[in-house]
């Protein structure tokens, strides 16, 4: 169940739980205002039943949970979404309509208790203004309005889920057919060898 209220985690607990993850370092991400952010976080198979979280580090050195998702479920918190995929031991975090105020440090992780979580990945996000449409001083510009397709997280996540489901069916079927063909070929060769000796 996604939490309605923010949850702040102690910085000491963050350091203790994340010691292995932070050794890998913080990943730097740069985006332009109005775009979306999509990151994938992998977890140990033993953590598949734990709640998945996306949080932002605060000036007080705590972590404010923006969205949390129970095992195997999708969740939304404001402009943040989590899509959990237990089959691949990963979850995807999507943040839509980025703003310059979204710049900061973020973590994805699994919730251990109400005040502790394990950091899986850490990010430093910088969202800059889109200056591509700013005219130079003294120049006039003509603006053309075009309709831009909007991101519908539910439909996009369902499409991802459908792709994963299809591939998770096709691979075992192909492997099964290959193994049956191999067994049939060996049996045929042995039978032919026995017939030629008989």
In the chain, what percentage of residues exceed pLDDT 70?
54
CA dist., res. 31 & res. 93, Å (int): 15
Q: Answer yes or no: are the C-beta atoms of 145 and 155 closer than 8 Å.
A: no
pLDDT digits (tens, 9 = 90+) for 24-65: 588 888 999 999 999 999 998 888 888 899 999 888 878 888
CB-CB contact of 95 with 104 (8 Å): no
The span from the CA of 50 to the CA of 79, in Å, is 22
What value does the CA radius of gyration of the chain take, rounded to a whole number of Å? 24
Predicted TM-score (pTM) above 0.75? no
Task: Please name the fold of domain 8-129.
Answer: Immunoglobulin-like (2.60.40)
Between 14-18, 49-53, 106-110, the lowest mean confidence (pLDDT) is in 14-18
> pLDDT tens digit string along 159-194?
555 454 454 555 554 555 555 666 557 556 666 765
Strand, helix or coil for residue 118: strand
């Amino acid at each position: 169940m996604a939490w309605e209220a923010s949850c702040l985690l102690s910085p000491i607990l963050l350091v203790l739980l994340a010691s292995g993850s932070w050794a890998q370092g913080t990943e730097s991400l740069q985006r332009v205002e109005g775009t979306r952010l999509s990151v994938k976080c992998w977890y140990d198979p033993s953590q598949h039943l734990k709640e998945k979280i996306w949080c932002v580090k605060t000036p007080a050195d705590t972590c404010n949970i923006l969205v949390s998702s129970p095992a195997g479920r999708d969740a939304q918190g404001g402009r943040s979404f989590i899509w959990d995929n237990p089959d691949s031991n990963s979850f995807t975090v999507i943040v839509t309509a980025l703003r310059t105020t979204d710049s900061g440090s973020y973590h994805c992780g699994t919730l251990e208790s109400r005040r502790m979580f394990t950091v899986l990945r850490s990010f430093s996000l910088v969202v800059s203004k889109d200056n591509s449409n700013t005219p130079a001083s003294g120049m006039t510009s003509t603006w053309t309005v075009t309709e831009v397709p909007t991101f519908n997280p539910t439909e996009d996540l369902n499409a991802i889920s459908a792709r994963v489901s299809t591939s998770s069916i096709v691979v075992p079927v192909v492997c099964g057919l290959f193994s049956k063909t191999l067994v049939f070929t060996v049996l045929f060769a042995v039978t032919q060898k026995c017939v030629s000796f008989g």
